[in-house]
Structure 1
Amino acid sequence: MNYFKKQILQITFSFLLSINFLVAQKSAEQPLTMVDQKATKATKAVFSNMFSASKKGIMLGHQDDAAYGREWYNLPGRSDVKETAGDYPAVVGWELADVELGAQRNIDSVYFSNMKNLIRQVHERGSINTISWHANNIVTGKSAWDCKQDSVVRSILKGGSNHERFLKYLDKVADFFQDLKDKNGEPIPVIFRMFHEHTGAWFWWGAKQCTPDEYIALYQMTVGYLRDVKQVHNLIYAFSPAEITSEAQFLSRFPGKEWVDIVGFDTYCPDSTAKVVWYKETVTTGLKVITKYASDNQKIAILAETGQEGIQVKNYFTEILLPLIKDYNLSYVLLWRNAFNIKKHYYIPYPNHPEASDFIRFTKDKHILLSQEAAKLELYKNQ
């Protein structure tokens, strides 16, 4: 190779490196965008800070943690996580089902007035609140699990026979969110995870109950109504199908990245050895899909619901769950609720439970963050 050809190749190579560096730098400096461009400062701060927080560890979440627990109900200050591991969870999940009916309490017997107070307490600790909504079937008047029909979603969309009635449902949901205020009267940011597990067929918005286009229209209509019509600006929007088998499946009913802030999925661990293998494989596949999508599109990744009912597998937390999640860039993992009135329906060990020591080891691992550690991350602080 002569001197001039060598020089040209070196210059070309250097130029390409410079271009790649500038593109990478521009991508890194690209400002984060949310579904709601008018989100409150605190809501934007939470969204932004959850990115950096995920590099410090994975926040532990628990559904209805402070509302009730194993054999107790509505006792101030109690928490099965705290009483077992010494601290509150960093994320607490809540449920809105029946708020759309004007009921005083939800399907899990939590009074909405009490829920609002507990959400404020979680917020004051510097922790995160996430809310799901098992909306009632507007056609039959029964629960979200009444899913024998394949026309409910279609009837709710614009032009459908139940569209105006469903907007009244959303008015009640909006009222709840707008009533979430901190001690200074400012809106409390919350994650809203609606119409979840839609790849399954056990809800009226499921894969066998509506087409992909109908589901997407329902999701977008709900976001648009809350954000643009009702002017609710303290929500971070989460999208979570049931277990994920591929990226194609994950995206098959995806409403578009401009409609989603957080991506995740729900998968529970069975109690048989063979099915535990399935659980490990399924969670691993799901985590690969959502963390890649989150990284490529400036979204936050979560394991939105998981756990094992009754915790029947020995060392589930340290030998199954922790190895599955610890090497992924996840913001949080949320374990399901400890029912006070259903004997075997619990997902967190209570004191003196045979798996309590395993859970304690899990929470003390460097990858897992409880409430006090999350508070140090100052998730609500404007940067």
Structure 2
Amino acid sequence: MAAVLIWAFTHFSQTDRPEGGLPASADTGQDGATSDEDQVPVLKLVDPQASPATRSLFRYLQESRGKRILFGHQHATTEFIAVTGNPVQSDVHNATGDFPAIFGWDTLSIEGKEKPGISGNIEASRERLIEKMKEAHKLGGIVALSTHFPNFATGGNFYDTSVGAVEHILPGGSKNAEFNAMLDHVAYVANHLKDENGELIPILFRPFHEQNGSWFWWGARLTKTSDYIALYRYTVEYLRDRAGVRNFLYVFSPNGPFAGDEKTYLATYPGDEYVDILGMDQYDNQDHPGTKGFLNGLARDLAMINRLADAKGKIAALAEFGYSPQGMKTRGNGDLAWFTKVLDAIKNDPDARRTAYMQTWANFSTNGNLFVPYKNAALLGDHELLPDFIAFYEDEYTAFAGDLSGVYDRKAEAAVKDPFLHIATPTAGTEVVDSAVIRARVLHAEPAEVTFAVRGLAEHQPMTLDADTGYYMAIWQPDKSRIGGNAIIEVKASLADGTVLEDAVEIPVGSGEPPVAELLHDFESSDEGWTINNDSGGIWNTAGAAGPEPSTDAASSGGSSLKADFQLGGGSFELARVGDVDLSGALALEARALVRLGESADAGNGVRAKLYVKTGDSWAWTDSGEKVLDEGGFLTLRFDLSNVGGLEAVRAIGLQILTDPDSKGTASIWLDEVTLYRPAAP
């Protein structure tokens, strides 16, 4: 190892780089404290007992914002295309003479499913990963760890979406012990990752990312928002409070685009208590890379996230990005200046430029997994984007490992946490049959008493502390007469100083039978009363939409669907069914939708859609949140109604379609199979 490190430190090529590292001091954005030498900032961290180096890393990243953006690479030294004579292999180093500022790995390495792990031997895999992380630390880099856990319910991999697993791995679930065992392996790596002085090496830990997509088992198609939030919270609490991990900064990272909308971005946010870094994942399109729509949309989203980070005392990051989900082609790429275009889009926006780091994916292969251009690879030569990547490296705004200094020697304190109460189970919208185990956590306080009640039914009853798990627990058995309705469970924690903490969750009471699907509209013979809201234009139709009408051009089932044509360019419109209807007790609303672009059209960051209901005399709007529609086939849009009020007086249901400001041309949408889900009859 010593020879490797001597080689590395003497082979950082600093030619054409700006002189010096990142600034030694800057405003931390934490509680108004600055980083002047005589002041020690107080940081609002997830872990109030975070190690000194972890606190320093947070401060360092906060101080780097707006000055330089750190570049990261997944599997920077364990996957590569070009093989050199250097002791440490790295496509980034081979291309630039420097290593990335951030070295990323995944829990798949712990399982032995990715390098440096060994298949079938978790214990050996953990040790090998620890050694590579230590090497990265000695090379001057920051360590990051993402998660792609297996589907614990099926035994399949992280792409197995045949069965949702989240409800099975939360407390009380049949696979909770297996999930805990996996978290123990993660904790082992964290707790044994120490430098030559025995000090813990910090890790940027990014669990369950891209949760708003549908491609992972923890994604939106199979996981209620409340379950995802519970999962993220459970993961943090287990690692921090039970496994004693003190060197994690926790990264929240849904998949973009968000059209700059805070509500969409925060839809699955577990709360300030559980997140240190506000991140996002975003890939471009291999067929149409570097469009104005993509670049402007990325900058707009990062600007929004940075403003949120400022308001919350967090760090903003582009936690995962790339040329496309498939990476770059070996040749024939559509944009040979893509890296510098992305960088320019970020640094030219006054808010987006405050993004602390940007990390791209691994160079697993040249066939669908190539994210950093190679140099002088056998039989390949130099990649066609290599000159642009070198220009990206040479830009004074990017920071690589050789630019970092003093990352772990900054003084910082962690703020004392306020007492916090939350109900862990049942999660909002979870159907209760026969009985419910109520679990609540009280954090950062020793309560004198914790009680629960069902709102409007009875007095509060005491809950009992389970010392093994840290949960206050009780069992509630609903009366059979409540089947088909909802109940609100309230928990209160009384502290010694008289403070009372409260939390509540609304849950449906069911019979245990599967929900009943009621097909509301299939458009086989007519538009069934659906119209375009304000089809003559105006604020409800700024996309020039026309129609709708039954169409046989595309259908999710049967032979027909509802079609509308519209203009791209930033406008929106609504397909709506106006009319009073009682949806009380309904669990969910679903619809299937498909979009197709006209000739030469550019959708920018995509055509987005959301289901909505308007309720009550004020026609109050509640929606499902946005999803990007797919040109390849019908996409299921699902709206969880379990916590929507006023369903007894629904005035309209509909689908809002939103276009990107940088899109252009025309498009069409097909709507089909509008379906309502209700609890089974008692």
Within 2, Cα distance between the matches of 1:74 and 1:221?
A: 45
One of 256, 263, 269 as aligned partner of 1:254: 269
One of 124, 148, 151 as aligned partner of 2:162: 148
**Aligned residues of 2:99 and 2:141 also touching (Cα < 8 A):** no
Residue 4 of structure 1 corresponds to none
One of 35, 44, 50 as aligned partner of 1:33: 44
One of 328, 348, 358 as aligned partner of 1:310: 328
1:165 aligns with 2:195: no
Within 2, Cα distance between the matches of 1:60 and 1:149?
A: 36
Give the C-alpha shift of residue 27 in structure 1. Answer: 3.4
Give the C-alpha shift of residue 228 in structure 1. Answer: 0.4
Give the C-alpha shift of residue 274 in structure 1. Answer: 7.5
Residue 84 of structure 1 corresponds to 95
One of 187, 212, 215 as aligned partner of 2:228: 215
Residue 652 of structure 2 corresponds to none
**Aligned residues of 1:200 and 1:206 also touching (Cα < 8 A):** yes
Within 1, Cα distance between the matches of 2:288 and 2:217?
A: 32
123-132 or 138-147, which moves further after superposition?
123-132
Residue 44 of structure 1 corresponds to 55
CA offsets per residue over residues 266-320 of structure 1, 9 Å max, x none?
11111233883442243123202211111111111110111111152211111x2
One of 117, 124, 137 as aligned partner of 1:123: 137
Within 2, Cα distance between the matches of 1:240 and 1:224?
A: 18
1:380 aligns with 2:438: no
Within 2, Cα distance between the matches of 1:68 and 1:315?
A: 24
1:348 aligns with 2:363: no
Instruction: Report SS of the residue matched to 1:314.
Output: coil
Distance 1:355 1:275, change over 3 A: closer
RMSD, matched Cα = 2.2
Instruction: Report SS of the residue matched to 1:292.
Output: helix
Within 2, Cα distance between the matches of 1:73 and 1:114?
A: 22
Instruction: Report SS of the residue matched to 1:137.
Output: coil
Structure whose alpha-carbon radius of gyration is higher? 2
1:94 aligns with 2:105: yes
CA offsets per residue over residues 199-219 of structure 1, 9 Å max, x none?
101111101111111000000
Within 1, Cα distance between the matches of 2:86 and 2:117?
A: 12
Structure number with higher strand proportion:
2
Instruction: Report SS of the residue matched to 1:279.
Output: helix
Distance 1:90 1:249, change over 3 A: same
Give the C-alpha shift of residue 241 in structure 1. Answer: 0.3
Instruction: Report SS of the residue matched to 2:283.
Output: coil
Residue 18 of structure 1 corresponds to none
Within 2, Cα distance between the matches of 1:91 and 1:225?
A: 26
**Aligned residues of 2:30 and 2:44 also touching (Cα < 8 A):** no
Instruction: Report SS of the residue matched to 1:280.
Output: helix
1:181 aligns with 2:194: yes
Residue 8 of structure 1 corresponds to none
Structure number with higher helix proportion:
1
CA offsets per residue over residues 8-60 of structure 1, 9 Å max, x none?
xxxxxxxxxxxxxxxx9963567211101111111111111111122430011
Residue 16 of structure 1 corresponds to none
Give the C-alpha shift of residue 359 in structure 1. Answer: 0.8
Give the C-alpha shift of residue 116 in structure 1. Answer: 1.7
Flag structure 2 segments of 5+ consecutive residues without an equivalent: 1-28, 35-40, 119-124, 376-381, 412-682
Residue 5 of structure 1 corresponds to none
Distance 1:108 1:145, change over 3 A: farther
Give the C-alpha shift of residue 73 in structure 1. Answer: 10
**Aligned residues of 1:126 and 1:380 also touching (Cα < 8 A):** no
Within 2, Cα distance between the matches of 1:226 and 1:163?
A: 14
Residue 217 of structure 2 corresponds to 204
**Aligned residues of 1:68 and 1:75 also touching (Cα < 8 A):** no
1:365 aligns with 2:395: yes
Within 1, Cα distance between the matches of 2:30 and 2:150?
A: 47
Residue 6 of structure 1 corresponds to none
Instruction: Report SS of the residue matched to 2:43.
Output: coil
**Aligned residues of 2:108 and 2:147 also touching (Cα < 8 A):** yes
Distance 1:364 1:157, change over 3 A: same
1:323 aligns with 2:344: yes
Residue 114 of structure 1 corresponds to 128
Distance 1:236 1:157, change over 3 A: same
Distance 1:115 1:74, change over 3 A: farther
Within 2, Cα distance between the matches of 1:25 and 1:255?
A: 20
Within 2, Cα distance between the matches of 1:44 and 1:28?
A: 14
Within 2, Cα distance between the matches of 1:25 and 1:316?
A: 35
Q: Aligned residues: percent identity?
A: 34
Aligned length: 351
**Aligned residues of 2:145 and 2:206 also touching (Cα < 8 A):** yes
Give the C-alpha shift of residue 74 in structure 1. Answer: 12
Specify the code of the residue in structure 2 equivalent to 1:333: M
Within 1, Cα distance between the matches of 2:393 and 2:366?
A: 25
Within 2, Cα distance between the matches of 1:279 and 1:114?
A: 38
Within 1, Cα distance between the matches of 2:130 and 2:137?
A: 11
Flag structure 1 segments of 5+ consecutive residues without an equivalent: 1-23
Within 2, Cα distance between the matches of 1:137 and 1:71?
A: 34
Within 2, Cα distance between the matches of 1:353 and 1:297?
A: 41
> TM-score w.r.t. structure 2 length?
0.49
Instruction: Report SS of the residue matched to 1:131.
Output: strand
